[in-house]
Amino acid sequence: MNMKSALIFFISLLSLASSTIFVWVGYAISVGIDVPALARTFGIVAISYGAISFGLLVLAWVRAKPALQIISKYSSLAFLVTVIAGSVDLGIVSGLEWLSIIFTAILLLVNWLAVKQVVEFRYVA
C-alpha cells in the first residue's frame, strides 16, 4: 500500500466517522419528547445527509463515476446552507453558533474530499 492509497483510506475512515456523527446528532435531535417541528425537521435532514454521504462514499469505492463528486459537493453545500439558515433564524449569531458552523463545514469538507479523492483514485475512463 503506497502513501496515496493510505491517505485515501484514512480520509475515507474520517468521512465514515463524520457521516456517523451526522446520523447520530440527527437522531438525538429527532427523538426528543418536546422537540419543535423545525428542530425535528433539521434532525431528519441531518440523518438524511449522513446516509447520503455514507452511500456516496460506498458508491465511490464500488463504482467510481465522476458524477459522484458533483452530487457530493452540492449535497454538502446544501446541508451547510441549511445549517447556516438554522443558525441565523433570529438574526444574531453567537460565538458558539459560529463554532458549530465552522465545525460542520470542516466535516462537510472531509466528506466531499473523501468522495472526490476516491473517485479520482478508482476511476478508469
Residue pLDDT, tens place only, 62-106: 998 999 999 999 999 999 999 988 887 666 667 788 888 999 999
Q: Which domain, by its residues, includes 9?
A: 3-122
Structurally, how many domains does the chain consist of?
1
pLDDT tens sequence across 50-65: 999 999 999 999 998 9
- Tell if the pTM clears 0.85, that is, is over it: yes
**Cell numbers that stand for 102 in this block:** 465552522
Give the C-alpha distances (Å, rounded to integers) separating 61 from 47, 68, 85.
22, 11, 32
How far is 83 from 103, CA to CA, in rounded Å? 11
Q: For residue 125, is pLDDT > 60?
A: no
Position 91 scores a pLDDT of 64
Position 90 scores a pLDDT of 61
Exposure of 117 in the CB half-sphere (CA atoms within 13 A)? 18
Position 33 scores a pLDDT of 85
pLDDT tens sequence across 30-50: 998 888 888 899 999 999 999
Q: Which amino acid is at 94?
A: S
Which residue is associated with the grid cell 434532525?
43
